[in-house]
Structure 1
């Protein structure tokens, strides 16, 4: 059966309390970068605001952003740091419609009357059976390759194993990635593997540590900085495999956000955290599927910037978020930070990527 997106069920604003609800209140920004008192902070869900008697859906969302009414009647989601004097910010802290603000979490949700209220193992853990999740993900990615925007969020563990590195490279080459968000370490160790066969000094296949191999990632960074760009490095060193190579060859955007712990870093790493956030947001706001692998902090950052829905070709469709990590704590952390519409798989990313490659490529 071909993959089908679930239909979005719009709220019935002809019913109460929506009909008699007042228009949402608006307060003008008086100081750049500072929201008015009682500002409304957005979630990842579709949110509607009553303005001039009509309920308007924010065209996108972003957790902890604030809704700003623009002169064309649209509602834009803006971070505090991007607020400008005279911006019209919607204020109010209730979410049930009584203040002209309605947070709608059930647009894609089906309610099965036959399901039990109580069931064992309803959470996600190392005991969870993931076969159905894999099958659904295969169908989803086959659909998204041509109809969506797949964003990968990668930690360095994806390149520590020979097979997983090859698997993800193949997935990129076959069109299953439209953007990649990562840090200095992932790209460094991927290129280190291409040049030296090691990642953080350890052979990616047999896990041996050759003499002085702990210098490899530093030598790689030094070579990259001398080359001036990763594209030049790849050409100069005749690199022909790996995630960075496949991204550049297939023109897949690779956004590398800097960290205070970075060494080097590689030339394209963005050292300004807010500039990095802006570059990541360009892709999370277009994402239809987000897949986060073994990177807790980067996952939370990207997940919080990714809404649960997107308006595409005039329709509202869900955004699918996956979080894969060997630690239950790590996968649950994203849910704890508010990204409730996430599918979690407790497994190592090496097995996960090889499964995807074997079933998609």
Structure 2
């Protein structure tokens, strides 16, 4: 079947309403971290700003930020990163009337499929949705990304490390080159390293799920050992972990970002305790991503969705940025859509089964 990258069609700027549109208005930031009145808030879609009669694309966007004009380029900036003197675009319309044009139809031209009914059963994604076609399309996309130099970023909750088969499956994905970045919390890495070190996750055998005597100590013993080693890399290098997700990330030089929460034990040495430093590190990985797959981590998924645009600019070309949310809870995947990440495709399923399914669909053999 193969995968074909959709062609991006930019707006027709020869249309009269866009030709006659005024230049966008800018206002200077008067105080660090504070946007001027009537600031324009950005979206996940391509946005164009008219400056000196020319429409300029904000090449790197994210929702709920502001657009700053900087030497002929447009930067999308979080409020907390605004500096006095920054020139911020102002205007609350998106139809070009104020020199700001949001373009959500670049990959479909806004066309509605022929014979598409206004009413249809099972229009939303649920446990009853048929996912066979979605899986096949995902396999082809992942192959395309790997062969074409794409960047596949995975966002993982701790459930991904609680099962022997899912750990092995994701390790195989890393070895095969289908993982260019990983984002998670303290728990995913801790329980994966616990499984490598003591063969348990939260004290339960990762295969039989049998609780081990004194197993409630295992995750904090693991944390303590890693902290004693000084880093996850040292923990792996000293032989305390010989398999699993974090082991393969270290061995294959896959960058990862672990951002902590108020409930963390330990945490691991690499975990960001400052939430804004963690957000910056996450966004650095998101900026490189062309496909993002989020699994069983509602808060990390929503955070990632909030900083991920629907497109990616590379070498002067615009392509879709593919975004997937996988969770056994319908609420969790639909919550992301409610937050404004409308381009997300969802799978309602057990994430452990999902990872194994993807490994098998890509025909990756166990080593």
Q: What does residue range 7-156 of structure 1 map to in structure 2 within 5 Å?
A: 7-71=7-71, 73-109=72-108, 111-146=112-147, 147-156=149-158
Number of aligned residues: 360
1:230–1:267: 8 Å Cα contact kept in structure 2?
yes
Partners of 1:173 and 1:111 in 2: CA distance = 41
Alpha-carbon displacement from aligned partner over 1:137-167 (angstroms, at most 9, x marks no partner): 0000001113211000000000111101110
Q: What does residue range 1-361 of structure 1 map to in structure 2 within 5 Å?
A: 1-71=1-71, 73-109=72-108, 111-146=112-147, 147-360=149-362, 361=364
Alpha-carbon displacement from aligned partner over 1:234-280 (angstroms, at most 9, x marks no partner): 12234221000000100000111111111100011111111111110
Structure 1 residue 115 displacement after superposition = 2.4
Alpha-carbon displacement from aligned partner over 1:115-153 (angstroms, at most 9, x marks no partner): 223221111111110001000000000011132110000
1:285–1:307: 8 Å Cα contact kept in structure 2?
no
Structure 1 residue 323 displacement after superposition = 0.2
Name the TM-score, length of structure 1 as normaliser: 0.98
Partners of 1:16 and 1:333 in 2: CA distance = 39
Partners of 1:92 and 1:309 in 2: CA distance = 23
Structure 1 residue 286 displacement after superposition = 1.4
Q: Gapped runs of 5+ residues in structure 1?
A: none
Superposition CA RMSD, Å: 0.9
2:196–2:240: 8 Å Cα contact kept in structure 1?
no
Q: Gapped runs of 5+ residues in structure 2?
A: none
Partners of 2:119 and 2:302 in 1: CA distance = 30
Partners of 1:48 and 1:313 in 2: CA distance = 18
Name the TM-score, length of structure 2 as normaliser: 0.96
1:258–1:270: 8 Å Cα contact kept in structure 2?
yes
SS at match of 1:344: strand
